[in-house]
Structure 1
Amino acid sequence: MEKKWATKEQLTDLLCDLVRIPSITGSEAEIELAEFLVEQLRNLPYFQKHRDHLQLFPTGDGRYFVTALVKKKEQTKKTVILLSHFDVVDVEDYGVRKDMAFDARKLTDLLYTHKEELPEEVKQDLDTGNWLFGRGTMDMKAGLALHIAMVEQACEGKFDGNVLLLSVPDEEVNSAGMRAAVPVLLELAKRHHLEYKAVLNSEPMFTRYPGDPNKYIYTGSIGKILPGFLCYGKETHVGEPFSGLNANYMASLLTSELELNTDFCEVTEGETSPPPTNLLQKDLKKEYSVQIPHRAVTLFNLFLLEKSVDEVIRKLLETAETAAQRVKRSYEKQAAQFPASGCFAPPDVEIRVLTYEELMAYALTTHGQEEIERIERSVLADRRAKDDREATIELVDELAILCKELAPMIVLFFAPPYYPAVCSGTSPLIQRVVSDMISYARTRHGITLKKQNYFGGISDLSYVGLQASAESRSRLVANMPLWNRGYSIPLEELELFDVPVINLGPLGRDAHQWTERLNVDSLGTLMDLLPVCIQKLLTTE
């Protein structure tokens, strides 16, 4: 049978077919793409003979992930997992061209006629003729196309071991696909007598800074948490602002303390995590009125490398205390300078800083378990209609309202998703294979690959094993209101699924931007590099 995905041209056609399905996270097309993968792979004779080796598994929310197992021989155990995701972010950033965002060739041709609108570095790439534009070309349907080609090679007996393709939805939002897949991977290992040697992801190479010319091979993936702060002040009429405390003001000063605060950056072997940045800040009033907003929330993206959850919580609480003192000093200064200051006594602005866990303990003691459960049932009644962040904030807000006698207060909590940091840089297998691949890429292709411990774009590799015990995350769990209420991570299974990871993918630029693009030549290069990498992962002792 003639090979379907053996050349760069065939791979480019496959990539364009994958991109054409607008699999935005949460859309119906996300389900369509999973079905398309099964349809394509089912055409291979191996899967017609071994139909139960190609499966769709439910994630529990109406979506599916795909597994495709190719066994070298029935008794062969050594297996490499090829991990990818098939969802993409939305296309609003394309503006008037968003209808073409999923037609890679048409969009690329159009940009040639509108080069004057492009940033200089994008124009330079376009002029080479080696780049394909469109949503998902880089992140990460090129990697998925390459993995499909590797499955075809495995079906032909290319590798001295087994290959298991795993392609999941929802990586761009909550990683529901990968979180659901971990228990299934453990079950597949038992059923088919598999020994997982490594998980190979092919997320594209990410630049570490603007203009970064380097090409990378990764031995892990950066971690991420979403700390939030509910700020609860005191209500008042706008005509009497010194009779209350505006929560928007509290949140603003807290944001100014945390935004781009490099004290939160970690440096490990010359790699630096980005500083925190704000993802959401708003007051919690339901409608417009001349009452000041006395409840507000601010939510941050915070990357992790090696810091423990306890260290992070301690630092976040210190920052909140600093912000609380700034609010107090500023409030008292303004009250003293107010022309009518001698005619009134402003309220005390001693702001309490506490964790969600502490707020919950107080609520249970003061109001009882039954009242807490009533609030939770009310908030979570229409769970699927609410974004995880919205549901989390509403749970914290309702609990704070119940305990408003503690105000003014700042409450630290965590919202989904949570991505544990993972790094296999010390694994003897990964060390050897990375060294061999760096040498091979240089000798065979004249390419210099640089080893990096952490892939910086966040990936589903975070759910391959645990760098620390599940118990060490107890404070994170205790301060995440949605934990086991619609969101969780299979921590016990992750402790069992302890497999080294590696990421080797194509060259792309501008993920999540309208200029997202893929270097098509890198597909040809990876068609040579990936089989070598897989073989080494299977055979290196």
Structure 2
Amino acid sequence: MLEFTREGMLNLTRELVRIRSVSHTAGENEAADAIFSLLAKEDYFRDHPEFLRFLPVEEGGLQRRAVLAFVEAGEPVSRTVLLNGHFDVVDTDVCGDLADLAFDADAYTAAIGRRDIPEEAREDLASGNWLFGRGVMDMKAGLAVHMAYLAHMARHRDELGVNLLFLAVPDEEGSSVGMRGSLSGLCGFIRERRLDLVAALSGEPAFWTSKTTGESRPHRVLFTGTTGKIMPLFFCIGREAHVGYAFDGVNAAAIAARVVCLMDACPDLIDGSGPDTLTPPVCLKLKDLRDTYSVTLPERAAAYFNVLTVSRSPLDMLNICRDVAQRALDETLAGIKEAGRRFQQRSGRRDTPVPDWQSSVFTVHELTERLAGELGAEEAEKRLRNFTEALPENMDEREKGLAVLDHLVSLLNLKGPAVVVGFLPPYYPQRINLRATDKERRLRSIMEGVLDDLEKSVGQVSLVDCFSGIMDLSYMGFQGRPDELNTLAENMPGWGTVFSLSMKDLMSLDVPIASVGPSGKDAHKDTERLELDYSFTVAPKMLERVIRELSVTSDEGVATRSAEAPSRRP
């Protein structure tokens, strides 16, 4: 029996940590089975087995599964709160000789002091109020709190004014295959039961800011929104030439390098403002697309970027990328022409004129439409699909996307100088509390009330509009127009095979989010640790309070502290 007590939740955390559910391993299936089995032992789910189920999230690969559980309120209501978390963890390579021990939280806590760890971690270890180990805070403890609360309320449904919908997923640490893959099953259950999701609560931990971040004091951070992430791709096409006659051609690598100079860390491309200001684009890969040595100018090269968003849609980003691509082409060709002029001047030769190149910028969608025009829509789709499905299953998703686009360019025999702009996986929509709906205003107001009381009782807590990391609750809807979202699908090579997302289900949701999880430090590090008193005393009470206040059918009794919407468009 799952117990909603400090000791019960701590023991459940230990039990979940022992499962080696490293992302992209069979351990994720073991974790799903364990969570399902623990809940299945509860009387409520024995009586209502239809309310506990696995949701398949992928057709091939490991055939991983999410776990969905549903507890009805004492009186029939449609209002429902989603409790969400992930059970995968990152690997333990950073733990060195203690790597295997990291899945035994008590043993790892006893041993971690032997390593060379930061003074702050050593102080926490000495306090006795912190538990170390892989996944203790990211996020097995959050799952433990949610599972214990779910089981507790299943025994006390007369005290429950909203339905509870629990969803535990794999692969949050990768590209959110778990959340994306379970979206259709989740939305299907919501439609089947005619539920109204009033909020989605994450069990992600309240991250402590470090003493080294420049903050006036270290403190825990809660959030009511999360950043989006998009991966713009620039596929650069040059003109081949022998390096001895370099001015006869255009080096695709030079175009790609110019793109990186214009995009990487560009302050003009920073999104957000104030505390929601996000870091600028970062180039994650720059490479030419040939595998062998050659003294021919590289004809094709690519660069892709990590871009965080708080207001921009895929359509916004595509337009930005078009402008960057054209500028990169113009500057590269101008540089070649000037270098050719100076070469002629210095050598006295006139037999190496630089061609007056005409450059082009295309989108992936424009190229697929051109192929459909040449081959017919059915044949064009067949050729691209057959190529995509033949790619190795274990090939990186981004490399698959590049390969598909490279194949498309080859089918069209497209010559440069040109740049094709589009996107690569993954994609996370931003989910910001805009105070635009009653649900948003209500949840934000409740969280502000929680913050006020937390600061009085435990201190050192702040509430932010936008969690600057990436998380699964991004998929609780799309804050924009359908055409803005369609831009993503139309311009991602291998969409539906390499990367998939149910657009219909995503557009059907519009659910405000908040974090109500435990507290910890140093996720993914060898010093990952969980703050015990807050996590198993304060956080459970916070979860109870938020759900109790969400049970109220009107805004009566809940102060509206956030009447003004933030100054950003959806």
Report if TM-score (shorter chain) is over 0.5. Answer: yes
Contact 2:272/2:311 (<8 A) preserved: no
Partner residue, 1:277: 282
Partner residue, 2:362: 354
Alpha-carbon deviation of 1:193?
4.8
Contact 1:352/1:406 (<8 A) preserved: no
1:353-410 Cα distance to aligned partner (Å, 9 max, x none): 2221223333344555435632441232246343321221111111223334431211
Partner residue, 1:67: 68
Alpha-carbon deviation of 1:486?
4.6
1:292-351 Cα distance to aligned partner (Å, 9 max, x none): 432111111111111233322222222222222332233333334445472422444554
Aligned partner of residue 504 in structure 2, secondary structure: helix
Contact 1:243/1:346 (<8 A) preserved: yes
Which amino acid is the alignment partner of residue 442 of structure 2?
L
Partner residue, 1:511: 523
Residues in 2 aligned to 1:329 and 1:341: alpha-carbon distance in whole angstroms: 21
Partner residue, 1:363: 371
Going from structure 1 to structure 2, the CA distance change for 1:168 and 1:406 (only over 3 Å counts) comes to: same
Partner residue, 1:345: 353
Partner residue, 1:395: 404
1:433-463 Cα distance to aligned partner (Å, 9 max, x none): 11221123234x2335322222221111111
Aligned partner of residue 103 in structure 2, secondary structure: coil
Partner residue, 1:520: 532
Residues in 1 aligned to 2:434 and 2:521: alpha-carbon distance in whole angstroms: 25
Residues in 2 aligned to 1:136 and 1:341: alpha-carbon distance in whole angstroms: 68
2:138 paired with 1:126: no
Contact 1:376/1:395 (<8 A) preserved: no
List runs of 5+ in structure 2 lacking aligned partners.
555-570
Aligned partner of residue 384 in structure 1, secondary structure: coil
Aligned partner of residue 278 in structure 1, secondary structure: strand
Residues in 2 aligned to 1:438 and 1:425: alpha-carbon distance in whole angstroms: 19
2:15 paired with 1:10: no
1:221-260 alignment runs, 5 A limit:
221-260=226-265
Among 503, 507, 512, which residue is 1:500 paired with?
A: 512
2:287 paired with 1:316: no
Partner residue, 1:198: 199
Partner residue, 1:432: 445
**Superposed CA RMSD:** 2.6
Alpha-carbon deviation of 1:540?
5.5
Among 290, 296, 301, which residue is 2:301 paired with?
A: 296
Residues in 2 aligned to 1:90 and 1:294: alpha-carbon distance in whole angstroms: 38
Going from structure 1 to structure 2, the CA distance change for 1:398 and 1:337 (only over 3 Å counts) comes to: same
Residues in 2 aligned to 1:341 and 1:214: alpha-carbon distance in whole angstroms: 68
Contact 1:11/1:523 (<8 A) preserved: no
Going from structure 1 to structure 2, the CA distance change for 1:293 and 1:492 (only over 3 Å counts) comes to: same
Contact 2:388/2:498 (<8 A) preserved: no
Aligned partner of residue 288 in structure 1, secondary structure: coil
Contact 1:506/1:519 (<8 A) preserved: yes
Task: Report the identity percentage.
Answer: 33
Among 450, 453, 464, which residue is 2:465 paired with?
A: 453
Task: Answer with 117-126 or 526-535: which moved more.
Answer: 117-126
Residues in 2 aligned to 1:113 and 1:446: alpha-carbon distance in whole angstroms: 31
Aligned partner of residue 508 in structure 1, secondary structure: strand
Contact 2:45/2:51 (<8 A) preserved: yes
1:118-138 Cα distance to aligned partner (Å, 9 max, x none): 234444443433333333222
Aligned partner of residue 99 in structure 2, secondary structure: helix
Residues in 2 aligned to 1:481 and 1:174: alpha-carbon distance in whole angstroms: 16
1:58-87 Cα distance to aligned partner (Å, 9 max, x none): 113311110111223363433211011112
Partner residue, 2:139: 140
Contact 1:356/1:411 (<8 A) preserved: yes
Going from structure 1 to structure 2, the CA distance change for 1:300 and 1:515 (only over 3 Å counts) comes to: farther
TM-score by length of 2: 0.86
State the number of aligned residues: 536
Alpha-carbon deviation of 1:283?
1.8
Alpha-carbon deviation of 1:246?
2.8
Among 423, 447, 451, which residue is 1:414 paired with?
A: 423
2:171 paired with 1:170: yes
Going from structure 1 to structure 2, the CA distance change for 1:367 and 1:513 (only over 3 Å counts) comes to: farther
Task: Answer with 360-369 or 198-207: which moved more.
Answer: 360-369
Residues in 2 aligned to 1:268 and 1:517: alpha-carbon distance in whole angstroms: 31
1:237-281 Cα distance to aligned partner (Å, 9 max, x none): 444444433323322221122111121212246411221112222
Contact 1:208/1:456 (<8 A) preserved: no
Alpha-carbon deviation of 1:207?
6.0
Aligned partner of residue 89 in structure 1, secondary structure: coil
Contact 2:360/2:419 (<8 A) preserved: yes
Partner residue, 1:79: 80
List runs of 5+ in structure 1 lacking aligned partners.
none
Which amino acid is the alignment partner of residue 324 of structure 1?
L
Aligned partner of residue 438 in structure 1, secondary structure: helix
Residues in 2 aligned to 1:129 and 1:308: alpha-carbon distance in whole angstroms: 46
Partner residue, 2:112: 111
Aligned partner of residue 186 in structure 1, secondary structure: helix
Going from structure 1 to structure 2, the CA distance change for 1:233 and 1:494 (only over 3 Å counts) comes to: same
Contact 2:238/2:415 (<8 A) preserved: no
